Chains A and B, each alone.
Chain A
Amino acid sequence: MTADASRGAQAPPELVQLLTPEGERVEHPDYDIDLTPEEVRGLYRDLVMIRRVDLEAVALQRQGELGIWASLLGQEAAQIGSGRALTEADMAFPTYREHGVAWCRGVDPLNLLGLFRGVNHGGWNPAEHNFHLYTIVIGSQTLHAVGYAMGIQRDGAVGEDGAATIVYFGDGATSQGDVNESFIWASVFNAPVVFFCQNNQWAISEPLEKQSRIPLYRRASGFGFPGIRVDGNDVFACLAVTRQALKNAREGQGPTLIEAFTYRMGAHTTSDDPTRYRVQDELEAWKLKDPIERVRAYLFKNQLADQAFFDKIDAEADELGRDVRRRCLEMPDPEPLEIFDHVYTEPHRLMDEERARFAAYLAGFESEESSR
């Protein structure tokens, strides 16, 4: 089977959209959003800033400063829209591509780079940001999110001022057993969790048809909770739909599956070569639906921002790019003995023994050096 060049050429009928690719506000019978000009400009800034970080990271990888990078290009609206729907008390569980959500949660972009540079496997404190570590094995984090949500229930933190979890995963992940188990758990325990699936059409080289015969959002009905498809390139719609789903979860109405219909504009990672499996026409069609351009057009048309504003954001983004680059290059390599740190929380005699032996081994080289 070859890639379907018409993929996404027309919007699927069930799609929730509040802002067209041309920047026109449209109505939806179930969802609406009331944003101040300041809030819209804030969303625009978020989108631009995280795209700039992403661009810088790709460049750093190409220059050998990162081992690999998973680009979010094209998925900015899905991530910023859903990320800005979270309250401080909500907890987010990402895959390894949720740079936009990390941005919304206040995680320093440098922390994201550390993992891909190979200086750590994550290394931020999830509790500080209510943003869990990146999870690389596909779909595993969905169960963690549901378990966390069950903890929220047991804390009595469901209700109007309650908390919810949101968990991110991709179209490929919907085939994983863990994701399906997490749907069952969430449903049976009525857990306050929002499943946010970014359907970017491609699981590395495998198109959606390899994962599902039905639209992904419809999977939810079989598990007994609502599923909804949203234009994943529409930051307004992503914000509105996620906000509502989180509110429902917080108030004890249980889980929702959101399928954000989007497109992975770049490669799966910097190690991937999408020209081997997808056609250029598809990319061109999706370029016209760019998540940032439509907000820019909306701001411009409605005279909510002028050229000076856009120039200012661009300059700020460039400065962020430079800052991320500079600090990435300054990131020190960890010390060899750090291999043994944090494997266990409590004292562990095997770690102590092996650390001491390795330290002695390393010290042997130092004394050789000094005796020369």
Chain B
Amino acid sequence: MTTLTLAKALNEGMRKAMEDDPKVLVMGEDVGKLGGVFRVTDGLQKDFGEDRVIDTPLAESGIIGTAIGLALRGYRPVCEIQFDGFVFPAADQIITQLAKMPLRSLGAIRLPVVVRIPCGGGIGAVEHHSESPEAYFTHTAGLRVVACSNPADAYTMIQQAIRCDDPVVFFEPKRRYWDKAEVDTSPGEGDWPAFDQARVARSGADITLLAYGPMVKTCLEAAAAAEEDGRSVEVVDLRSLNPLDMPAVAESVRRTGRCVVVHEAPVFSGYGAELAARITEECFYSLEAPVLRVGGPSTPYPPSRLEEHYLPDLDRVLDAVDRSFAF
């Protein structure tokens, strides 16, 4: 056991992957000497050299496009997109090429490319630095989309993403980068939870909160507060958004009969809509109330002085829990 921040856990996970496989590369803007703007790649260039930890020109489409070419030559690039809002210049390469090229080749091509994206708000940043673009990517067939919520998962999930032969969009909850936790780095791959497996982060009997990435912690805090009111709240950390571990979700919701979905992204047409629809289809006779959604308003992300009003917090989650029980 070792105490790691989430950022350091990612760093250690990448380091391990680079040690295990010489084909693993890290590439992105400022990932070298600086170690990335969040220091997630800190020290990697010093230890693995400039050929394996590549400071790229400042162009996101170029990062993903050349990563595809490197993957075609047998490499496993891990690309850092500096901030969520900067992924859009690369959207064409991700959506039209990375996601679709294996199918285009009828399986002859594998593209083990990881696209790391620090996501979400809560750090007082300027525009384009606080977004939650996951639904754009979960909607794109050919991509796997995952989100880690804590240091232990960060350590294993980044290694699983790198080992995966499919392209993976890997969301990192930037405001949780500095959260610390005990991480057991000793178990090998065989003992890790499956890459597409959800995790019950807290057991409960009365209602299920579904969350991923930065909102898992918020939901755990809400569950602790609700317990004081005598409500037993289960929190499920989805971890993998595409594919979704629907059996785990359905099992929890059938047991509790109530469900609230929580994410930072705008509610309208967000990932929660898919969850709500699927739960309604699969758990209809178990539901005591409609699936409720908590998320950002259907507006662009506001200036940072307003973000505390935009982001779901403990009170908004508890409010939704109350509304669910009011049915």
Task: Answer yes or no: are A and B bound together in one complex.
Answer: yes
Enumerate chain A residues within 8 angstroms of B59, measured Cβ to Cβ: 177, 181, 184
Q: Whole-angstrom distance between the alpha carbons of A323 and B149 in the complex? A: 58
Q: A148-B70, A149-B69, A154-B75 are in contact. Are A342 and B57 (CB under 8 A)?
A: no
Binary per-residue interface labels of chain B (175-209) against chain A in the complex, 1 for a CB within 8 Å, 0 otherwise: 00000000000000000000010000000000000
Main secondary structure of the interface of A (DSSP, over half): helix
Stretch at the interface among B29-37, B98-106, B127-135, B299-307: B98-106
Q: Whole-angstrom distance between the alpha carbons of A185 and B29 in the complex? A: 13
Enumerate chain B residues within 8 angstroms of A351, measured Cβ to Cβ: 243
Binary per-residue interface labels of chain A (293-308) against chain B in the complex, 1 for a CB within 8 Å, 0 otherwise: 0000000000000000
Q: Is the beta-carbon distance between B164 and A346 smaller than 8 angstroms?
A: yes
Q: Whole-angstrom distance between the alpha carbons of A120 and B70 in the complex? A: 25
Enumerate chain B residues within 8 angstroms of A182, measured Cβ to Cβ: 62, 65-66
State whether the Cβ of B93 lies closer than 8 Å to any Cβ in chain A: yes
Q: Is the beta-carbon distance between B61 and A143 smaller than 8 angstroms?
A: yes
Q: Is the beta-carbon distance between A177 and B73 smaller than 8 angstroms?
A: no
Q: Is the beta-carbon distance between A150 and B66 smaller than 8 angstroms?
A: yes
Q: Is the beta-carbon distance between A133 and B101 smaller than 8 angstroms?
A: yes
Enumerate chain B residues within 8 angstroms of A122, measured Cβ to Cβ: 104-106
Q: Is the beta-carbon distance between B66 and A185 smaller than 8 angstroms?
A: yes
Q: A181-B57, A343-B141 are in contact. Are A148 and B69 (CB under 8 A)?
A: yes
Q: Is the beta-carbon distance between A147 and B166 smaller than 8 angstroms?
A: no
State whether the Cβ of A178 lies closer than 8 Å to any Cβ in chain B: yes
Q: Whole-angstrom distance between the alpha carbons of A149 and B245 in the complex? A: 39
Q: Is the beta-carbon distance between A345 and B61 smaller than 8 angstroms?
A: no
State whether the Cβ of A146 lies closer than 8 Å to any Cβ in chain B: yes
Smallest CB gap from B25: residue in A: A154
Q: Is the beta-carbon distance between B65 and A178 smaller than 8 angstroms?
A: yes
Enumerate chain A residues within 8 angstroms of B141, measured Cβ to Cβ: 343
Stretch at the interface among B5-13, B107-115, B224-232: B107-115
State whether the Cβ of A121 lies closer than 8 Å to any Cβ in chain B: yes
Smallest CB gap from A152: residue in B: B73
State whether the Cβ of A51 lies closer than 8 Å to any Cβ in chain B: no
Q: Is the beta-carbon distance between A126 and B108 smaller than 8 angstroms?
A: yes
Count of A-B contacts with CB under 8 A?
148
Smallest CB gap from A344: residue in B: B166
Q: A148-B73, A152-B73 are in contact. Are A143 and B66 (CB under 8 A)?
A: yes
Binary per-residue interface labels of chain A (102-125) against chain B in the complex, 1 for a CB within 8 Å, 0 otherwise: 000000000000000000111111
Q: Whole-angstrom distance between the alpha carbons of A348 and B93 in the complex? A: 22
State whether the Cβ of A155 lies closer than 8 Å to any Cβ in chain B: yes
Binary per-residue interface labels of chain B (67-100) against chain A in the complex, 1 for a CB within 8 Å, 0 otherwise: 1111111110000000000000100110011001
Q: Is the beta-carbon distance between B72 and A151 smaller than 8 angstroms?
A: yes
State whether the Cβ of A188 lies closer than 8 Å to any Cβ in chain B: yes
Enumerate chain B residues within 8 angstroms of A353, measured Cβ to Cβ: 246
Min CB distance, B47 to chain A, in Å? 17
Min CB distance, B293 to chain A, in Å? 21
Smallest CB gap from A125: residue in B: B108
State whether the Cβ of A144 lies closer than 8 Å to any Cβ in chain B: yes
State whether the Cβ of B266 lies closer than 8 Å to any Cβ in chain A: no
State whether the Cβ of B276 lies closer than 8 Å to any Cβ in chain A: no
- Chain A 70-90 interface residues, beta-carbon cutoff 8 Å to B: none
Q: Whole-angstrom distance between the alpha carbons of A154 and B73 in the complex? A: 10
Q: A147-B72, A184-B57 are in contact. Are A350 and B97 (CB under 8 A)?
A: no
Enumerate chain A residues within 8 angstroms of B92, measured Cβ to Cβ: 137, 140, 178
Q: Is the beta-carbon distance between A150 and B70 smaller than 8 angstroms?
A: yes
State whether the Cβ of B217 lies closer than 8 Å to any Cβ in chain A: no
Q: Is the beta-carbon distance between B61 and A181 smaller than 8 angstroms?
A: yes
Enumerate chain A residues within 8 angstroms of B106, measured Cβ to Cβ: 120, 122-123, 341-342
Min CB distance, A104 to chain B, in Å? 20
Max chain B C-beta neighbours (<10 A), residue from A121, A147, A155, A351 = A147
Q: Is the beta-carbon distance between A181 and B107 smaller than 8 angstroms?
A: no
Min CB distance, B300 to chain A, in Å? 24
Enumerate chain B residues within 8 angstroms of A146, measured Cβ to Cβ: 65-66, 69
Min CB distance, A109 to chain B, in Å? 18
Enumerate chain B residues within 8 angstroms of A133, measured Cβ to Cβ: 101, 104-105, 109
Q: Is the beta-carbon distance between A126 and B72 smaller than 8 angstroms?
A: yes
Q: A143-B68, A182-B62, A344-B166 are in contact. Are A151 and B73 (CB under 8 A)?
A: yes
Min CB distance, A188 to chain B, in Å? 6
Q: Is the beta-carbon distance between B75 and A144 smaller than 8 angstroms?
A: no
Min CB distance, B82 to chain A, in Å? 16
Q: Whole-angstrom distance between the alpha carbons of A146 and B244 in the complex? A: 35
- Chain B 115-147 interface residues, beta-carbon cutoff 8 Å to A: 141-142, 144
Q: Is the beta-carbon distance between A155 and B73 smaller than 8 angstroms?
A: yes
Q: Is the beta-carbon distance between B65 and A147 smaller than 8 angstroms?
A: yes
Q: Whole-angstrom distance between the alpha carbons of A224 and B149 in the complex? A: 44
Q: Whole-angstrom distance between the alpha carbons of A341 and B68 in the complex? A: 21
Q: Is the beta-carbon distance between B51 and A143 smaller than 8 angstroms?
A: no
Q: Whole-angstrom distance between the alpha carbons of A124 and B105 in the complex? A: 6
A interface list, Cβ under 8 A from B? 120-128, 132-133, 135, 137, 140, 142-155, 177-178, 181-182, 184-185, 188, 341-346, 348-351, 353
User: 20 more A-B contacts (CB under 8 A) besides A121-B104, A122-B104, A123-B104?
Assistant: A123-B105, A123-B106, A125-B108, A126-B72, A132-B72, A137-B92, A140-B96, A143-B64, A143-B69, A147-B68, A147-B71, A147-B72, A147-B73, A151-B73, A154-B73, A182-B66, A341-B103, A348-B196, A349-B196, A350-B243
The 6 A-B pairs with the shortest beta carbon distances in the complex, nearest first, are A147-B69, A143-B65, A151-B73, A147-B66, A181-B62, A125-B108
**Pairs A–B under 8 Å by Cβ, sample size 27:** A121-B100, A122-B106, A124-B108, A127-B108, A132-B72, A133-B105, A133-B109, A140-B65, A143-B65, A145-B69, A147-B67, A147-B71, A147-B73, A151-B72, A177-B89, A178-B62, A178-B92, A185-B57, A188-B57, A343-B103, A343-B141, A345-B166, A346-B164, A349-B196, A350-B242, A350-B244, A351-B243
